[in-house]
Amino acid sequence: MNSIPKDIIYFVPYYTEDGDSVLILFLSGEKKIVPMSIRSFSKKLYSLYAIDCQAIKKLISQRIGQKNLLPIVLPDATFIPVKTRKAIVKTDPIFGYVNMSQIFKIDDKNDHFEMLFRCGAVLNCLGSAKYFKKRITLASVITDYLQSIWLQGALKIKEECELENVFGLE
């Protein structure tokens, strides 16, 4: 991936002839399809910043009191999970991620909601708009918290993650 994550409006799971892929919408309006899973794509986002995916997820989970569907928090972008499709097979990924700073408006419909972005793009989402707004609140809280930690540097991150005996030494 050659783009900066803050230039991504959303990335969602996408079916192709070759299987699961990721559809990405950029600020420029360009859409790209990447042949990898959502999980692999999110790990690549973290790796761009040399962030340990498991450690940051553990920290986020502890802070917001939730184990699944965690926001992806990076130094210059926060992505919130949103249900974007129904699974064809039980193991299909159904959640995509939207850039929190690009959300302009959320319109609640009868059985779904639409997300309007600052650039004018619209994403149809499944589930409850009310529940998604709660995710925005949680993501805002953890984003502010992590931004303050990143400003203090790596030593503070080590303290907050409570890393003990990282190398397995006695």
156 against 125, higher pLDDT: 125
Q: How many other C-beta atoms lie within 10 A of the C-beta of residue 114? A: 14
Q: Determine the Cα–Cα distance for residues 25 and 89; give it in Å rounded to an integer.
A: 25
> Which pLDDT value is given to residue 154?
53
The three-state secondary structure class of 136 is: helix
Which stretch of 11-20, 97-106, 148-157 has the lowest confidence by average pLDDT?
Answer: 148-157
CA–CA distance, 43 with 11 (Å, rounded to integer):
13
Q: Enter the tokens of residue 100.
A: 């929190």
Range in 38-42, 69-73, 131-135, 162-166 the model is least confident about: 162-166
For residue 169, pLDDT beyond 60: no
Q: Tell me what the mean pLDDT of segment 153-162 comes to.
A: 52
Return the structure tokens found at 35. Answer: 């042949």
Identify the band that residue 165 occupies on the pLDDT scale cut at 50, 70 and 90: very low
Domain ranges of the chain: 5-167
- The counts of H helices and E strands in the chain are 4, 9
Q: What are residue 26's DSSP bridge partners?
A: 8
Cβ partners under 8 Å of residue 109, min gap 6: none
Q: Give CA–CA dist 120/31, Å, rounded.
A: 14
Indicate the pLDDT class of residue 49, thresholds 50, 70 and 90. Answer: confident
Q: Are strands 103-108 and 31-34 parallel, antiparallel or unpaired?
A: unpaired
Q: Find the mean pLDDT for residues 48-62.
A: 88
Matching residue, tokens 């859409």: 31
Residue 120 has pLDDT above 80, yes or no: yes
> Is 58's pLDDT higher than 70?
yes
Q: At residue 110, does pLDDT exceed 80?
A: yes
Instruction: Answer whether 9's CB lies under 8 Å from 28's CB.
Output: no
Q: Does the structure show a pLDDT above 60 at 159?
A: no
pLDDT over 90 (residue 5) = no
